C-alpha cells in the first residue's frame, strides 16, 4: 500500500491552530521518512517538516517554533501541529514519503518519491 492520504486542512484566522494528518501505510521501516510540503499560489513548493522512522526531525526556518511534527506508529499516521498561523502559511499542504532517508532533510524534495493528494490550508481574517 503506497497511497498517502492527508486531511485536516481548512480556514483559520491568523494566530490560530490546525493539525494535519497523513496516513502513510507501507512506510514503517526505521529508515523511511515522511515529510510535509506546501505550495502557495505563484510560488514553488517548499519543504515544511519531516520525521524519520527513528524520530529524527527537520523543520523549515519559517516554521521553527510554531509547527511540530509527530507520529503515531499504531495508526501509521504522521501529524503536523501548526500553531500561531500566519497568512503566509496559506497553501496546499502535501505529505510525502522517502525510502532509506534516516537524516530526513526536508529541503531535499527530490528524495521524496511518494506523494499524497494535498489538503488546503487558508489563514485569513
Q: Say whether pLDDT at 112 is over 80.
A: yes
Residues 18 and 26: their CA atoms lie apart, in Å, by 26
Reported confidence tier of residue 1, pLDDT bands at 50, 70, 90: low
CA atoms within 13 A on the CB side of 18: 21
Which tens digit of pLDDT belongs to each residue from 55-70? 999 999 999 999 999 9
pLDDT for 28: 80
Q: Can you tell me the mean pLDDT for 27-52?
A: 93
Which tens digit of pLDDT belongs to each residue from 8-27? 999 999 999 999 999 999 88
Roughly how many angstroms between the first and final C-alpha of the chain, as a whole number? 39
CA atoms within 13 A on the CB side of 12: 22
Q: Say whether pLDDT at 110 is over 80.
A: yes
Q: DSSP letter at 25?
A: T
3-class state of residue 34 by DSSP: strand
Residues 94 and 4: their CA atoms lie apart, in Å, by 9
Q: Can you tell me the mean pLDDT for 80-87?
A: 98
CB distance 45 to 109 below 8 Å: yes
Amino acid at each position: 500500500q503506497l497511497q498517502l492520504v492527508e486531511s485536516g486542512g481548512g480556514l483559520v484566522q491568523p494566530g490560530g491552530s490546525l493539525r494535519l494528518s497523513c496516513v502513510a501505510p507501507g512506510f514503517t521501516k526505521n529508515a523511511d521518512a515522511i515529510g510535509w510540503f506546501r505550495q502557495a499560489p505563484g510560488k514553488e513548493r517548499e519543504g515544511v517538516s519531516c520525521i524519520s522512522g527513528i524520530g529524527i526531525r527537520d523543520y523549515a526556518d519559517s516554521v521553527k517554533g510554531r509547527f511540530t511534527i509527530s507520529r503515531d506508529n499504531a495508526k501509521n499516521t504522521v501529524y503536523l501541529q501548526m500553531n500561531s498561523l500566519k497568512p503566509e502559511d496559506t497553501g496546499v499542504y502535501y505529505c510525502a514519503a522517502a525510502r532509506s532517508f534516516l537524516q530526513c532533510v526536508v529541503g531535499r524534495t527530490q528524495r521524496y518519491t511518494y506523494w499524497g493528494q494535498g489538503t488546503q490550508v487558508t489563514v485569513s481574517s
